[in-house]
Structure formats: structure tokens, C-alpha cells
Amino acid sequence: MTTANNKEYRSWIEVPANSDFPIQNIPFGIASPQGKSPRPVTRIGDKVIDLSVLADFGFFDDLEIDDLSVFYNSNLNGFIELGNKTTSKVRNRLSEIFRKENTQVQNLNSQEFQDTLLYNIDEVKMEMPVFVGDYTDFYSSIEHATNVGKMFRGNDNALMPNWKHIPVGYHGRSSSIVVSGTDIHRPKGQTLPAGAVKPLFGPSERMDYELEMAFITSKNTKLGETVTIENARDAIFGLVLFNDLSARDIQKWEYVPLGPFLGKNFGSVISPWIVTLDALEPFFVEGPEQFPEVLPYLKQSGKNNIDIKLQVSLQAENSKEDVICNSNFKYMYWSNYQQLAHQTVNGCNINVGDMYGSGTISGPTPDSFGSLLELSWNGTKPVKLSDGNTRTFLNDNDTIIMRGWAENEDYRIGFGECVTKLLPAKNDDRN
């Protein structure tokens, strides 16, 4: 276990009870303090810590980092490209600096130093943590795939013949991946309503969220190289929450034969804090048994899934939020390592900052289904809200709030929130 994960550690920064961000977490993000440019940060409790200030004062000088400019960049790509061994050293150093017994920072005489180092979370604007060059979305929850298959193909043909043999995925649009707090307009496109013989154009009437997580790669490979199951962990920096919004009616009309297009590329939302695999190390668990046996390049053993509790709330306009889903990342049939091994087995090269969505994460019970498509069973079972209203799909001005955390008897490692509001479609003269 990495040094920073020691359950005995406490910080001299106050950490509220049940915080997602104890000193054992030390996630990484990009923040803009008021009136200042975006810069790399970490977080303990409700305090955001400016890594560029620590670099200014030489706290990272002995870590053998050739290019200290990575602590001043407006995204984390350069920092992540240092490699997991080096970024782990930085995380351990941050743990040392902010431990209760370490008064090195507290005793620095400059009040200006203290004022520029620490910010309250409400004093900064969280930005996109990485520049996402490429994005792959997988379809790796057997419960979700089975539910959707039952709705549209019946119980006997719920899973496609390839599903238990390969981590099914598609290459998606990276430019429309945005950070939590970004509102998304209801998209427009073609749909074919029930009974219609010609498609119509207009706003989607079946807007949905998808509860996902995404991992971010930490190395570059050359065209023709592969990332094997055995070295996949070294190629993954960390995870974020991921709301992969979907226009179900647009997607249904367009997806044959090449898959999703306009129904998926109008906006996907991530949480601003990247939680490292190091921080999640105590929460790795064995995944579901895979049958039939997978091909050798996908074979794995040991603990490869992560026990992360996931929750989705829907907040209607002028109303309180209602928890509508409680799921868990541990349910995934295909692990992150299998996804990356499959993505690259044909020689596909990867780059630092690439993002890989898990696919909708559903569990075995109805309250753990990770989309409104499933919760309302394709609109046939409306979801009841506390204000007396119901939802089959999202209304304009509904806000979706996703949360995720791993916990044991010692501490909780969380991701904060992934929040987005669905705005009405933009008006224009297209028809």
C-alpha cells in the first residue's frame, strides 16, 4: 500500500465528518482562483491547495522531476505524463506536507504564502482537469446490457452473441466532454415516432442520463503497440464520475448500422477531481465470474474491480433533490484493465489524457439501475418524485447530481459531485 494511504494519518487542515477528501485521498484537478488563471490543485477537506505555490517554494525539487512547469499548466496532461511512479511520489509528498505533525508549512512566516496556497472550495472555479484527445465509451455492465436487450429484443436475445467475449465499445466525441457545473441544452435531431413512416426533426423527447465512471490514461504508446492486462494498471492514472447524457429517441433511429452519433455527442459531463488508482487501492475487489472463459489476452486474476458506491439524484426545477439510483462500480463485468487491453490489442495507440467511459453502471436490483431508460422500463413505469410528479425521461431544467465514494471502517475516498442541468433546446429556424 502506498505511504499516503496510511489510515492513521490526519491533516492539520480541518476535514469535515464524512468528507470525500481526507488526507488519504489527495485527488488532482485544475482550478481558477478568483481573478487568477487555471492551475493544478489538490484538495483536503474543503480547502483547495495550489500546487504551483508549493513548486515555487521548492517542495518538489528533490523528486527528480525534469520539468517543473507541469505545476503551472492549465491542464494536468503534462503532470500525468510524468508517469504513475512520479505522480505517486508527488502524492506522497503532499501527504507529508499536510500531515498534522508536520508544521513546516504552518510555520512559514509569510501570510501571503498561506493566503496564496489555500482556498476555500467556494473561492475557486473548477475547470476541465485534462485535455481529452480521444474518448472511448464501453458497454460493460451485464445488468445494463441485459435490461436494454430485454426491452428491445426480448428475454431470449437480451445479450448479443459477442457481449461475453469482448468489451464492446465505440469511439465517441471528445470535444463535447465538459466539467461538472456545465449546463447542457436539449439536443435536436431526427426521430421516428411509433407508427410513423417518415422521420421528424426536432428536440429529443427522451432525454436520459447514464451513470458511468471513466478512467484516464497516463502513458503514450506507439502505433502497433499493445497494453497488456499485466501492465494496464501502469497506464491508468485515475478515475472520474461520468454522466454520458443520451437522447434515446435520436439514438434509436440512427444507431444501425454504425452505432450512436447525434444521440450521444452533444454533451457528457465529468466530475472535476481525478482520484488516483493509488488512493483507491484499499477498495479493489474481485469482479463477477466471467463465463464462458475469455480469450487469453483478456484473462485476469485477483482483484480488478473497485468497490465504489454510486448515487444519482434528480432535482426538478424549484424542488428538492430525490435520490433515484444507488449502484456500485464493482458490478462491472469487464474491468478497466480488460477494456484497455482490448482497445489496444489491435495496435491502437493511446495518449496521455485519453478518457474511457465504463458504460452505464447498473446493479442487480431495480433501485440500482443506472439510467431512466431502465428505471422507467422504457417509459412504462414512471419514476415517482417527492413533489408528487413523475419522470419517464428528463424534463427541461431538471438537474442530475451524481456522487461516488469508496469507504471502509477507517476513511472515505470520494469524487465530489458531477452536476449538470438540462436546459431547453435552443431556438433556431431549422425544421
Instruction: For strands 284-285 and 305-306, give the pairing.
Output: antiparallel
Q: Nine-digit cell at 224?
A: 502497433
d(C-alpha 373, C-alpha 369), whole Å: 9
Q: Which residues pair with 165 in a beta bridge?
A: none
Q: Of the candidates 273, 342, 313, 282, which has an alpha carbon nearest to the alpha carbon of residue 400?
A: 313
Half-sphere exposure of 9 (CA within 13 A, CB side): 22
Grid cell of 22 as nine digits:
481526507
Look up residue 3 and give its DSSP letter. G
What does the alpha-carbon distance between residue 253 and residue 264 come to, in Å, rounded to a whole number? 12
Is residue 68 classed as helix, strand or coil in its secondary structure? Answer: helix
Q: Is 144 a catalytic residue?
A: yes
Whether the CB-CB separation of 24 and 7 falls below 8 Å is answered with yes
| Active-site option among 144, 165, 171, 185 | 144
Residue 40 to residues 19, 246, 302, Cα–Cα distance (Å): 21, 31, 34
The phi and psi torsions of 298 (rounded to 5 degrees) equal -105, 0
Residue with cell 499536510: 98
Rounded to the nearest 10°, the torsion over CA 222, 226, 230, 236 is 50
DSSP 132-197: ---EEEE---HHHHHHHHHHHH-GGG-S-TTTTTS--EEEE-STTEEETT--EEPPEEEE--TT-S
Give the closest residue to 269 by CA, choosing from 376, 399, 396: 399
Please give the positions annotated as active site: 144
